[in-house]
A and B are shown apart, each in its own frame.
Chain A
Amino acid sequence: CAVTGCSSFVDITPQHVIPVGNYYKTEADIRATLTGAYGSLRDIYNGYWIHFELPSDNTQVFTENEGSYGEFDWLTFRSTGGVSGPWNQAYRTIASANIILDRIDGITITDELKKQYTGEAKFLRALMYFNLVRLFGNVPLVLKELLTEEEAYTYRRTPAEEVYAQIEKDLLDAIAMLPPKFTGANVGRTTSGAARSLLGKAYLQQKKWELAESTLSEVINAYTFEPDLTKLFGPANDNNSEVIFSVQYVAGGIGLGNSFAHAFAPQKSGTSVVSLGAFSNNMGTQDLYDAFEAGDLRKTAYIGVFKDGTNPKIYYWSKKFVNNVSVLNDGGNDWPVIRYADVLLMYAEALNQNNKTEEALTFISKTRVRAKLTALTGLSKADTQLALEKERRLELCYEGHRWHDLIRWGKEVSTMEAFQAKYGPIDPRLSNMSITADRKLMPVPFREINLNPLLLPQNSGY
């Protein structure tokens, strides 16, 4: 038997999965890929709190065995630890976006859809780079589908400014390409307003105050403020008028849920908070709870209190994300990436930095008044900044803003040192904290540097 004659016997291909070579041929393929890119956000934002809130003074992991979250709580980030999650997941979404952007020209599609899909892909790519640049600083800027291994090894870390420049460019494109609103079965897709808000956020983080102000000013009137703060969260209030962009989770056992309820419910609470699996991984701190003024509706609307008998340990759990779901990882609460209150407060911060303090105070007051507090007037610029910092902390608690807000304000070291000094005596675990200026960035995953030494040097302090 000749070699060639028989080789068909071993020439079998999988029948049950679609080979990549047969895909990306139609509009439906690109649309599904885009849906898949959104789908990857579910994983990213399911654990967003770990890297964006836990390091701050807002929340703590409160189990006896802090497991893999301790390093983020105690600011002892390790290159071999949990930093690989956000790195890998961001690039996973970026790869989907790049595949869409690279391949959309090769298919038959209407101009309108092509514009929309391109805008959405660019928004997602920008959002991912915004997360990456904040966590890691300089990161490889990949803007095309990587087809070979060799190619991947040529990438170095692009300076953060250039990453931000790309984010801005992508978002400006997205603003131009995306509609202001989606309805029906398209609710949850990103819009021009979302792109504009994210752009404002990116400007703000870079302290480009004037660009931030001008960009955000265009969002201020595009959304409406929900006057009843109890209607902001929970599956029943998904995609309410204040939502600008949120990650969509759907309960019902179809694999589209989140694990917030279990991660955030107090471990010792038995079944009093959730009916199964409570892990107290992201508990509000005493400091957060005490920061609310008397009469602030948010204190009870946003925070649940669980007292373990007379045990001095009190658990402050997030009512924003915990509702009683019956199945593990099947929560339906959406994760607000950007909501109107955030935009108002960002806008206020930009105004104040641009010396429009009085106008800034009117925006800060909006969330205060909604929480049944008095409006603020007549504060100095510096006091306004302090009021704004507090307002952001309280209004946006548990939503993953605090850590990078502190970094933007240059206060992450002083805040955490004060926190450690104040609570260290009653919580010996805080002696483990490693508070240095280097902590504003996390280490690039060891695995990545090990594979591609061009990613050296590591961020300082690791």
Chain B
Amino acid sequence: QQVSIHVKDASIKEVFSRLTEQTGLNFMADALLMKNLKPLNLQFSNTPLNEVLQKCFSGEEVDILVNQNYKTVVIRKKAPAAKAGRQQKQVTGKITNSTNEPLPGVSIRAKNTVTATVSDTAGMFSIAVPENDATLTFSFIGFTTKEVAVKEGSDINVVLEDQQKALGEVVVIGYGEQSSKKVTTAISRIGGSAIAKQPVATPGEALAALAPGIQVQSARGGYPGEAPTIRIRGVGSLGTSSDPLYVVDGYPLQESTQFDLINPADIESIELLKDAASAAIYGSRAANGVVIVTTKRGKAGKASFNVSAYSGMQQIAKKVDLLNRDEYIDYAKFTARLRNVTYPAVFDTNPDSLPDVDWQDVIFRQAPIADFQMSARGGSEKARYSVSGGYFSQDGTMRGTSYKRYNLRFNMDADLHPKLKIGISMAPSFSDQYRQPAGGQFSEASASETVGGRTLPSPIHSAVLMPPIVPVYAADGDYAQGYRGLKNSANGVFFQASLYNPLGVLEQYRNRVKEYRLLGNSFLEYEPLKRLKLKTSLGATLNINDQNAYIPATLANNSAPAASRSNPVIAQIYAMENQSTVVDWLWENTLTYSGSIAEAHHFNALLLYSLQKYQAKSTGATGRSGTYTSALLENPLASSDLVGSLAYSQNSFLSFGGRLNYDYKNKYLLSAALRRDGSSRFGPNNRFASFPSVSAAWRISEEPFMQAISPVLNEVKIRASYGETGNASIGDFTWANNIVPRDYGFGNQRTYGSAQSGFANYDLTWEKNRQTDIGLELGFLDDKYSITLDYYTRETEGMLFQKDLPAIIGYAAFYRTNLGKLRNQGVELNAKANLNLGPVKWVLEGNISANRTKVLSLGGPSSLPPDAAIFGWDNVFQVRTGDPLGLMYGYEVAGIFRTAQDLQAHPQWVTGNKVGDWIIKDQNNDKKIDENDRAVLGHGFPDFLYGLNSTWQYRNIDLSILVQGVQGVDVINGNVRHQFGIHNVNTSPEYYNNIFDPQQPEKNAEYPAPLASGVTPLNNLTNKAVSDASFLRLRNVTLGYTLPQAALRKIKVQALRFYVTAQNLFTITRYNWYNPETSVTGDSVYRPGVDQGTYPANRVFIAGLHLGF
């Protein structure tokens, strides 16, 4: 490096500062050296830096050490030559890396002495050591520390192994870390950067397509703050939750929703423990896999500050094709004719006077999204810190919805003593969400979105059905809706009743959920003996959920169809404040010992004991209707009729276990674990269960006979594992039965009464998951290419089922018990390539996984009671033994009865058909159509999932794309149930142009006449409403530009990158509604893949920057 400097009588500090300006390097020198320097006179032009520095310190014997990684130059006095005698000798040598390049700056320490030095730019060193029994320790960041015993002679050449090279990535396993090369189980690692770069509200959404074996389904598309459904290796349970267990920095979260509040930017890495053997150390609750979240911690070194921010716009990814005014009027007249009803005269007299409203544009909008992050990390060798803060804000693309999240995190680690370490993590967060109903039928949105047992209209389904000729606002300023609008006679109402103005809901209904959370965790680690570590950690989660909801008197809905501003229905006002507090603490103790015998046998043993307790309380106050003095008051206190509510919950877990990892020369690897857990959630007779696991791997590539081909095939590992894990995701005390109130009104007064509720099961116990996994890992050309392949089979036994009881028992209709057997089988493939194409660095990683679920037993009956897809489409889903999950049953349409002859030629519905009805395929050939002619029309779980993640780096430009694919899955489009002319609602051209017209029986038609009998779009699911929902989505494209170092030096920052990102840029699918990924039933394993009024997916464009200094 060349520098130019011209100074007179300058201090060394001044010189350093000038040099820093030119080189971007920081200069450090021993204080003693500087103290003795005289003022300097320097005149150099384009002179090597070393020469200039030597001149500065002329008269002193100095070593000049340049460390480009740390951007530091250290000038130190040359180590004095060891004095002769005194049983000391001088050892010299050279340090290189595995490719024989010299390593400067390596610190060399003689064991049990204070003597230390560092290697020079040529990697050379010289150190005085005791004559006998001397051992040198060589350590350098990013390399494995090496100890070398000084034997005969005084020249030592040391090769330090790159940590990455030697042991591969380090992955986090339960209660520890392990090099990925030594892992014997199926673990996928996702780096934090892949998560942080996506503009998403919850970390789970960012996991889609990044690893095999994990399904991330954003069933409600772009709903702000909505967490997706996450499944690892299929659906693990029919009876209870299939959510994985989330462990954040060692703390197993009691509720999977607590994961949603983690700041994605704080995540260092996420490890997915997929097979039972890897998860078994979390035995109790690991049946559905474990997601281990590790947050960023401080590293010793200069403080680094990072600021990043992005902001952008979101829009719904797709609009549905619907009729406009003129088309709708044609359609309405057409169907009125078919139904023989009158339509408003204005349709003929003056159709142009009617409004033409695009109701999708009314409820959806372009919405901003923004994120701001700041962090500081650093520390000394003895104390390291990481402080970060984040703010995320997302307005919903549907009006009335928004989400904001505020995060702070403070991670601190300190070495109090060489044998004593302490660590503290505190992570407070706060989120603020405005919710609106999204999902469900126009008149009745999904119950989970409405409060107080009220049914509110589903705005999205309403917007789709609302005729374009209904104005948004009526003349008097009220929200217009069909029934107040056009009349087809003096006082008659033309439009479908109970179709309410969706904007009225979005602007008037309030459902605000604030979530406060504090996750705190601390540990103390003591190493009483070398390699024996005793760690005790104590953590607690405090969660406060604060909900505030209000249904005003002016909101029209089924309970008050005529409510409006001019006609407030005071009685329907509902104002609610609800707060729930959850305190969960965990005390965990581990004892680990790692060691080796004769350099060949390595082992690591772990003992574990933990207690966890959860307590929740929910209190609420509801201001009830009818007592308000003013319709404008939104607080429950406005009501003199306050009703309170109170609920409790608690549970506890007690666990102890152990694990032994062993390997022989990193070649034969073996791991075994056993955990025993007890939980208050189970019946007193059966609270404890044991969860064993064993796994083994053979790194064939380490065998001598493989060495010949190792330059090409450097890694071959086969591994196998078997393990058992448990599931306890049931509510608390479901094993118990009890007495609940049931009152009556004797003498017109409330008389307190009681009833028995629930059916006790004192034997209720853990659901068990047994999983076998076989894996193969290959690395080519020094891991330039790598492949991981896994096959697994996973059987869930004793599922925690809500089993139906015969109704004649009377006081209980079901009870929680263990029954049945479910199998998931699958294969996963992950492949990665690190390509260096000259100046372009290309990393390509792809994964594909397939999972098949089969119901093996339902504990007796061969099927479960059928479930409806949506209101009106009953008996669509039925779980049967021997079948996969998620089969959709319904009728197959074979055509339309166009003529009287057709009525003779085809089997009819049991109560008869008429011209214009659908011909239904006679599946069982019994010449009549009835319930027995249902057939499988589709399936709601995908055949396979794939993801492709590719990043390119060319000089200062980086580009990455992430492709997500889901293949072989169907969705039921419940949005179209009302669109075939029987109701006066809007429809899509696809329907309108395909309705059978008796006047034109020859015209091509797919849908029956509006007054059809037998199977109609209204009363049953047919194949016409089932669509292939496979999709390929360009989930993320990011283009970034990092400013060159030279430019950065001028503005004194370390790193500055600008980028633009498009999330969900496009989706290729056959599904013609908003989002193929949708599910109105959330994570239901019984009713997957149903769409009705669900929130569309968003397309997001952002621009952002990262700044490091």
Contact = CB atoms under 8 A, between A and B. Distances in A.
Interface string B483-505: 10001011111001110000000
Nearest to A76: B911
Q: Which 4 A-B pairs have the closest CB atoms?
A: A309-B491, A95-B810, A35-B753, A250-B745
A268 interface: yes
Contact of A445 (B487, B492, B648, B807): B807
Given A35-B746, A185-B749, A16 B756 contact: no
Contact of A88 (B570, B680, B813): B813
A451 B746 contact: no
A39 B738 contact: no
A238 interface: yes
Contact of B744 (A256, A311, A428): A256
A185 B747 contact: yes
A459 to B, nearest CB: 16
A131 interface: no
Nearest to A20: B737
Given A12-B652, A13-B736, A268-B483, A188 B745 contact: yes
A447 B804 contact: yes
B33 interface: no
B785 interface: no
Interface of B: 443, 483, 487, 489-493, 496-498, 558-563, 567, 569-572, 609, 611, 613, 624-626, 641, 643, 648, 650-654, 656, 676, 678-680, 684, 687-688, 732-733, 736-756, 759-760, 804-811, 813, 815, 861, 863, 865-866, 871, 874-875, 911, 983, 1011, 1013
A423 interface: no
A271 B567 contact: yes
Contacts of B497: 63-64, 267-268
Interface of A: 1, 3, 6-7, 9-20, 23, 29, 32-42, 63-65, 67, 76, 80-81, 84, 87-88, 91-96, 98-99, 140, 142, 146, 149, 152-153, 155, 184-189, 238-239, 248-250, 253-256, 262, 267-268, 270-271, 275-279, 307-311, 326-328, 428, 431-432, 434, 445-448, 450-452
A98 to B, nearest CB: 8
Nearest to B866: A80
A32 B753 contact: yes
Contacts of A17: 738-740
A91 B810 contact: yes
A225 B648 CA distance: 52
Contacts of A20: 737-739, 756, 760
Given A276-B569, A450-B861, 4 more contacts: A152-B808, A253-B641, A268-B493, A271-B562
Contacts, number: 260
B810 A9 contact: no
Question: Per DSSP, are chain B's interface residues mostly helix, strand or loop, or mixed?
Answer: loop
Contact of A189 (B746, B807, B809): B746
A263 B567 CA distance: 21
A208 B567 CA distance: 56
Contact of A186 (B496, B687, B738, B747): B747
Contacts of A434: 911
Contacts of A7: 654, 678, 687-688
A320 to B, nearest CB: 18
Contacts of B749: 185, 250
A10 B810 contact: no
Given A3-B688, A277-B561, A327 B625 contact: yes
Contact of B754 (A32, A91, A262): A32
Contacts of A238: 748
Contacts of A185: 746-747, 749, 751
Contacts of A12: 650-652, 680
Best-buried of A17, A18, A142 by chain B (most CB within 10 Å): A17
A42 B815 CA distance: 25
Contacts of A93: 810
B928 to A, nearest CB: 14
Which of B570, B611, B625, B808 gathers the greatest number of chain A CB atoms within 10 Å? B808
B745 A432 contact: no
Nearest to B982: A64
A67 B1018 CA distance: 10
B807 A96 contact: no
A41 B755 CA distance: 13
A152 B443 CA distance: 39
Given A271-B562, A277-B558, A326-B626, A95 B809 contact: yes
A88 B865 contact: no
B745 to A, nearest CB: 4
A263 to B, nearest CB: 12
11 contacts: A35-B751, A146-B809, A152-B806, A248-B748, A256-B745, A270-B562, A311-B491, A311-B492, A326-B626, A327-B624, A432-B1013
B728 to A, nearest CB: 11
B754 A92 contact: no
A307 to B, nearest CB: 8
B807 A448 contact: yes
Contacts of A311: 489, 491-493
B1011 A428 contact: yes
Given A9-B611, A155-B808, A309-B489, A40 B746 contact: no
A326 B570 CA distance: 8
B447 to A, nearest CB: 15
A254 B688 CA distance: 43
A80 B746 CA distance: 35
A259 to B, nearest CB: 11
A186 B744 CA distance: 11
A18 B626 contact: no
B559 to A, nearest CB: 4
A233 B312 CA distance: 64
Given A10-B678, A11-B684, A14-B738, A326 B865 contact: no
B806 A309 contact: no
Given A17-B738, A19-B738, A36 B810 contact: no
A39 B653 contact: no
B572 A152 contact: no
Contacts of B560: 276-277
B648 A16 contact: yes
A34 B753 contact: yes
A350 B55 CA distance: 130
B743 A267 contact: no
B203 to A, nearest CB: 31
B807 A84 contact: yes
B971 to A, nearest CB: 24
A52 to B, nearest CB: 19
A413 B808 CA distance: 31
Nearest to B553: A276
A29 B883 CA distance: 48
A91 B861 CA distance: 23
Nearest to A87: B807
B489 A40 contact: no
Contact of A18 (B572, B738, B751): B738
A64 B983 contact: yes
A184 B746 CA distance: 8
A279 B319 CA distance: 33
Contact of B680 (A10, A80, A153, A276): A10
Contacts of B741: 36
Given A277-B558, A277-B559, A39 B489 contact: no
B745 A249 contact: yes
Contact of B753 (A39, A140, A186, A309): A39
A65 to B, nearest CB: 7
Contact of A327 (B626, B815, B861): B626
Contacts of A10: 652-654, 678-680, 687
Nearest to B443: A65
Contacts of B561: 267, 270, 277-278
Nearest to A252: B750
B748 to A, nearest CB: 6
A38 B808 contact: no
A80 B742 CA distance: 28
B881 to A, nearest CB: 13
